[in-house]
Amino acid sequence: MSQAHDTERSGIETVVGGLLSDIRALVRQEMALAQHEVEYEIGKLLKSVLWCGIAAVLALIGLFVGAAVCVLILFEYTGLPAWACAAIVSAVLLGGAWGLAIAGWGVAKSVHVIPLRTVRTLMDDAKWMTEWVRTRFT
């Protein structure tokens, strides 16, 4: 009887040891997945900042260089007052800058602060472990 009890105890220790080993491996894998996912989201955030920065630079260049040329062209060929020509050119350039800023904002909105795939796989793993323990010990 004592030997059967020791064999049963050894089997449980083996199962628990294997389970703990699997949990450690799973945690390592989940941490690697979370790190990869966060790095991916940071890359998207940097891309968004870059697009918004480019939009700002283009807006400044457009306002200082192209605006002056376009105002002079409109003034020369339309007969409109200089202030009206300046307003038309400014509206067109700012509209283009606004479009680029909206594109950058669209990318920024898609950034996930919480690594969603990792959370989903953790939930699936927890369900699997619960089911595995229930089938082994009930």
pTM: 0.44
Note the pLDDT of residue 73: 93
**21-71 pLDDT, tens per residue?**
989 999 999 999 999 999 999 999 999 999 999 999 988 887 788 788 889
Note the pLDDT of residue 7: 66
Note the pLDDT of residue 39: 93
Torsion of the alpha carbons at 40, 42, 44 and 48, rounded to the nearest 10: -170
* Alpha carbons 3 and 69: distance in angstroms, whole number: 97
